[in-house]
Structures are given as C-alpha cells and as structure tokens.
Structure 1
C-alpha cells in the first residue's frame, strides 16, 4: 500500500481500541472510529467536544450544537431511529443514550453488527470522563483530554467560589406538564448544590420526580429556576406568579437558564452552571 493511501490513523495494523461504556461493557474497535452516529443531541455535542466532529455521519433531531452538526444526516429522533438510513451510512461506532434511546432499537443495532457505546453522564466528573472515552474511541485523545481538563478546571473553580455561600432553598423545574423536578442524584441537582442551593426536592427517591403545585407551595422555595421550552421561552415561570405568597414570587426570584446549557451533559454545562450560580447569588442579595 502506498504511503498516501494509508488510513488516517496511520497503520493498517493498528491495535484494537477498547473502552468501557456506562453499562460497564468493554467496547472494542479494530481501529479508531471514522464514521460515527450520535443518537442524542448530547452525544452529538460530546463527540464534537472530543475532537471527532468531522467523523460524525449521523445525528438525530435537535442536534443543533455545534452549528456544524446540522449538516450531518438525520436518522430520526432519539426515541425513534430510522434503522435503514442509519445502516446505509455504514457507521463504525454508534453512541447510544441508556435512558433516552429505546433499548430494543439499540439491541437491534448491535444485532446488525454495529458497535454501540452506551453513555449516561450523571455527574460533573462523568461529563469529563465521557469526553475522554469518546476521544479514545475516535483517536482524538489529545484534543478530548484538553477539553475535559478545561471543563474540570472551570467546574472546580466555580465550586470553590461558592463553597461558603449562604444556602438558598431552590426548586429546579425540569418540565411543566407533568410538573417535574430533579433530586440530588441528578446532574442538575449536583449543580444546584455546587452553587450553594438546597434542592427542596433533593431527597426524593426518583431521579426526576413528578410533583404538583401543592408540593411546591409546601416547600416554599426561595428561588425557582426553570429551563422552559426553547432557549428564549420563559413561560414556565409565569405560572408561579399566581401564587404571590411564595417567597420566590414575593422576592422576584423566578429565574430562567437556557436548557441546552444546563440540561445537556456537555462542556457547556460550565456556562449553564455559572448562570445558575449567578441567579442564586441574586436571590441572596434580595433577602
């Protein structure tokens, strides 16, 4: 084989690349992935962060960051993948979302002979390690490691800044109908704690518990934070203004954080965390 025709990873006899995914399965590739399918918007963003965006051949609906991701072929949504289109793109790595993609579809993809790497970052640290593992699978480890290190540094600095902050009783609204929050085991719950917030539903057993207005009224949070539907849509917060007796309403502590910055487990979580921390600091100043 002529030197100019060597594969991009440099050798036709490259060592297999093996990485453990979030289902504790060892996923091995004969060579670094060169055709990647990302089956959730978060997976798309993470593989770009890992330095392998130029190898993404398939994404799903709402994979809008970075902007270049919109150029990749869509293979449906995270809840319903068009398997025929996916297979036709011949990916050599499929990134699946454990609780987001239908398990039966991911199993079918594996049965078709496509390697599936399952991800489910549930902590600040796991966002960084996911980037590192994806970078290893893609052969872009230097770039992925750099992004992961910068994310860790930024989050550690933010944690140090708010380590001694006065507690703020906080309700984070992750959905409106049905009304849903997060507990302390959730990634967003970890961010609330990092910012000095006390999650009023943090001790509930479910990761994303369903609640009702009465539960929020009983908890009487000092601050309500919501993502809303879309990057500029704050309408979820207007709902609470019908309850002037709520401390958060009386003090005008109804805050919006763009959902893509706080509800996707990606490096942009650092930006979303800064915004959330700043909102809680505003609440402290209104006592």
Structure 2
C-alpha cells in the first residue's frame, strides 16, 4: 500500500482511466501531466503529455516534481517505473480485475489525493449501480460469450480481466474465462470449438469476419454485437454506463436463444 505524509498536490497519471477517476472524485486540479489517450473528461485533453502507450519521458516527469505517479500494472515501462521508485517518488500501481477493485481504487486515490469525501461518494454510487445490475440479472439464462479484443493476432479476455466480471454480471458465460492470463491469445479453431452464442468486439470489421462460419451459434443466431470501447474498456467511473449497455446487448442475445 502506498502511504504519503500529506495528500499529493502534484500527480502524474500514466493511465487514462485513472485520469477519469481523479476528475470524478474532485482531484482534477492536482493532476500535472497525463499520457496520450487521456481524453475524458474533455478538460483532460488540455493537460501536458509525458508519453503514450509506447513510451514515457522520465525527464519530463521529473521536471514536474510529482508527489505521486499513478501507473498501470499492464502498461509497460518497467525500467522507467523502477527508476522513479529508486528516486523515492511514490508510485500507485492500478490493477483492477473486477468491480470491487475499481471501487477500492477510487477510495485509495481519494486517500492519496486528500479527496476522501468525493471518492467515498463516487465509489458508493458506483457500487450501487452495479448492485442494481447484479440483482436484475442474477437468475438470467447464461449466454456463452466470446469477447474479441484484437485480431492480429486474435485476443480475448479471461476471468483475470475486469471485462470478464462485467460479462458475468450480465449473465454471460465467458468462453475463455479459464485462460491463465488476463488477455489470452486464442485461435480461430479454439473459438469455433467453444461455440459462443454471442460475439462481442470493438470494431465492425472484426464482427464481419465471423460471418464466414455460419455454423457458429453466434452467427446463426445473429448475435454479433459492437462494444462501446471507452466505457467498457476503461476501469473507471464510466464503466457503469458501459455495463448497462453490455447487459442490454447480452439480454438481446439471450432473447434469440432457442428454447430449452
């Protein structure tokens, strides 16, 4: 656990979803730099950039004299982060795997930024939204679901990904939940063998690709659905909106399943 002697007044954020969280809890004025793709809320687009997914500038970060750096567990840059740690700069590593983790992260960032009240309110609202969805779909008929997150090569998600927790929340059954890593590389043959009844993807062309296998249940049923990328792929405050949309998509697919 990261501890600070006083709330961080200068925060560098190396992951877009944490930017959204800090804005939501009332810590926007304490953010001094972000990375590319930190585009929500719109005001975040005006913040200085210190890198992107492909690399970060250690020199630029150090010039800003941060009192806290927020990074992503799976975001790369291990050498730069190790250097920051060696220099004594506090690091908070974001690694949410489910809805409960995201709410905990809101509270943790509230503690580190001195915005405990805003964080507590945001986390409670977030948890209540998900509790309502969980209650609504608790007894829903399972829908075998394949979530595609890339196509060159083909990737999906496992139970170690927060996206899997959303699929399960909505009554879906992730066909690659048993994979050993959060984002497993899979083959077309493996997808065909697991016979998903619903395919979810972030691009229309990815969905169109599966039309060449009309024997696949998802294709035969017409259950090919486009995901709302930012609200479903970023584990932050907007995830509740994305989850509601995902539940509607899974429920629509459920209605097309054959009786039995």
TM class by smaller structure: over 0.9
1:105 paired to 2:80? yes
Give per-residue Cα distances to partners, 1:135-172, cap 9 Å, x unaligned.
11111111111000000000010010000111111101
Secondary structure (helix, strand or coil) at the match of 1:172 reads strand
Give the structure 1 partner of residue 249 of structure 2.
279
1:254 paired to 2:224? yes
Give per-residue Cα distances to partners, 1:210-264, cap 9 Å, x unaligned.
1111111111111001123xxxxx2211111121121111221101111211111
- Cα distance in 2 for residues equivalent to 1:79 and 1:118: 18
8 Å contact 1:42–1:264 — kept in the other structure? yes
Give the structure 2 partner of residue 169 of structure 1.
144
Note the C-alpha offset of 1:30: 2.6
Note the C-alpha offset of 1:119: 1.5
- Cα distance in 2 for residues equivalent to 1:185 and 1:85: 33
Secondary structure (helix, strand or coil) at the match of 1:169 reads strand
Q: 2:238 aligns with which of 256, 261, 268?
A: 268
Give per-residue Cα distances to partners, 1:48-80, cap 9 Å, x unaligned.
223201211110011111111111100011441
TM-score by length of 2: 0.95
Larger Rg: 1
- Cα distance in 2 for residues equivalent to 1:182 and 1:266: 18
Query: What RMSD over aligned residues (CA atoms) do the two structures have, in Å?
Result: 1.3
Q: 2:3 aligns with which of 28, 37, 61?
A: 28
Note the C-alpha offset of 1:91: 1.4
1:198 paired to 2:173? yes
1:130 paired to 2:105? yes
- Cα distance in 1 for residues equivalent to 2:248 and 2:190: 26
- Structure number with the higher helix fraction is 2
Q: 2:205 aligns with which of 228, 231, 235?
A: 235
Structure 1 residue runs of 5 or longer lacking an equivalent are 1-19, 21-26, 229-233
Q: 1:66 aligns with which of 31, 36, 41?
A: 41
TM-score by length of 1: 0.86
Note the C-alpha offset of 1:29: 2.1
- Cα distance in 2 for residues equivalent to 1:53 and 1:175: 32
